Structure 1
Amino acid sequence: MTLLFRDDPYQVEAQAVVLAAGPEGIRLDRSLFYPNGGGQPGDIGTLSWDGGNITIIDARKAEPLVERGEQVLHIPAPDTPLPPIGATVTQRIDWDRRHRHMRMHTTLHLLCAVVPGAVTGGQVGADRSRLDFDVPSASLDKDQIEAAVNELIAADHPVRERTITDAELDATPELVRTMSVKPPTGSGSVRLLQIGTDDAIIDLQPCGGTHVARTGEIGGITIVKIENKGKQNRRVQLALRD
């Protein structure tokens, strides 16, 4: 399967061919829909074809089909007609929701650059997002964190994906900031998200999610609250300003 969102996270519409269809989900030969994973929700949208149209209420990772690699399972709304196998469909994602997820996900990487400590959990949301940190200090300063993140946003740093080999990741374990989830390995390469230029990196760590092209596109955030979730565990919640 061709994962179109990896080549261009800004693409909103594309055609595809139906490989399989059932109430449990629809498989296509290529997909715009980001499947739920890495703390980022699956995309929603529609599929339309000659004689039909359905709403996709979720996208999830599915077991690979033989010789077709990674698969996305497009979950249809209950009790709706399914496209016939072999049909050409037009897929459209809910762009407003996807774009908010992109802005939020990139913001969480900036938060990693500002807050010390390993990440113990997190969730991307269209309205609110969060990261949990294992921090040695008893408290985090909400106003200082908000100002620092917004300064990085306003600087309009470039954001890009790059890859390294499994061996290179093993040699640089400090790239992995998460304690609860390890990046997938075994395919020979690992996708990284880099914020900043090669000679002035703001954040660099494994990530397979969708992101904006520059930090200025985020537009500004508010730190909603910081919660104590354990002896050294602090949850930082944030929201976009628009």
Structure 2
Amino acid sequence: MSVHTMETLSLFNSEPYRRDFGARVIAVVDQAVVLEHTLFYPTGGGQPGDTGYFSLVDGTRIAVTGTVRDPLLPSIIWHQVQECPPQLCTGALLNASLDWQRRYQHMKMHTCLHLLGALIDAPVTGCSISVDKGRLDFHLPEMTLDKDSITRDLNTLIERACPINVMTMQASEYSDLPKKTARPPVFQDELRVVEISGVDIQPCGGTHVHNTREIGRVYCEKIEKKSRTNRRVILRFEQA
């Protein structure tokens, strides 16, 4: 199969809570594998690519160390593997499992950053998500932010147990949405939109929880001045 005709069916958007799946290998290049479909989220929008492992028919277990989109053909998702034994080849069938706790932390923080973006009336210029923290950068020339206020207001929104709805729209409708961030990837002329009921609606390609209460308590750890017009707000999960 030519790389130009390959495409990975994304399962992570429609089934973000699913942890395991079976799939067929459609390409192997060096230590990277393309599957016919995948639950592994590829790095993008500040959210890291998923990790986990593959289990082959003979019982061989192979660590997946990262997941990325092809830089030239974004419909192709590459799974970076720790090793590539001969039996991991085109046409092979395998079972795959996510590092679920890591993914779930990313989902919670990604949704939390959408809440943060709704609280601060300024364009977002950067984003980063990890297992225990996340941050947004804002174009905000005047320093008007306060850590204690952000912590209080975020936890109030989280406790409201707002449902999260995901929908798709035609890319041509994008201009009708509020613009807080750069335009996310468009696939087949469709745009994915994440709505936190009563709070926020933004184009986004990442994975999210179903309800804000799942996030748990967070706090604003730091507000940094990154440039004359850029402020960085860093959040962390409270330890249980």
TM-score, normalised by the number of residues in structure 1 = 0.90
- Does 2:105 align with 1:100? yes
Query: Which of 170, 173, 176 is matched with 1:168 structurally?
Result: 173
Separation in 2 of the partners of 1:192 and 1:169? 9
Query: Which of 11, 27, 36 is matched with 1:29 structurally?
Result: 36
Residue in structure 2 matched with residue 157 of structure 1 by the alignment: 162
Q: Structure 1: which 5+ residue stretches go unaligned?
A: none
Residue in structure 1 matched with residue 69 of structure 2 by the alignment: 61
Residue in structure 1 matched with residue 219 of structure 2 by the alignment: 222
Residue in structure 2 matched with residue 208 of structure 1 by the alignment: 205
Q: Structure 2: which 5+ residue stretches go unaligned?
A: 1-7
Separation in 2 of the partners of 1:7 and 1:182? 21
Q: Aligned with 2:167: secondary structure?
A: strand
Separation in 1 of the partners of 2:207 and 2:29? 27
Q: Is the 8 A contact 2:185 2:205 kept in 1?
A: no
Residue in structure 1 matched with residue 120 of structure 2 by the alignment: 115
By how many angstroms is 1:220 displaced?
1.1
TM-score, normalised by the number of residues in structure 2 = 0.91
Q: Summarize deviations over 1:157-209 as a string: whole Å, max 9, x none.
A: 00011122222112x2x52212xx3223473221111001xxxx301011010
Query: Which of 19, 44, 52 is matched with 1:45 structurally?
Result: 52
Q: Is the 8 A contact 1:175 1:206 kept in 2?
A: no
Count of residues in correspondence between the two structures: 230
By how many angstroms is 1:63 displaced?
5.8
Separation in 2 of the partners of 1:238 and 1:146? 9
Q: Is the 8 A contact 1:17 1:29 kept in 2?
A: yes
Separation in 1 of the partners of 2:52 and 2:210? 22
Separation in 2 of the partners of 1:56 and 1:39? 19
RMSD of Structure 2 on Structure 1 (CA): 1.7
Separation in 2 of the partners of 1:14 and 1:165? 29
Residue in structure 1 matched with residue 3 of structure 2 by the alignment: none
Q: Is the 8 A contact 1:64 1:70 kept in 2?
A: no
Identity of aligned residues (%): 38
Residue in structure 1 matched with residue 230 of structure 2 by the alignment: 233
Separation in 1 of the partners of 2:170 and 2:179? 14
Give structure 1 regions of 4+ aligned residues with deviation exceeding 3 angstroms: none
Separation in 2 of the partners of 1:91 and 1:64? 25
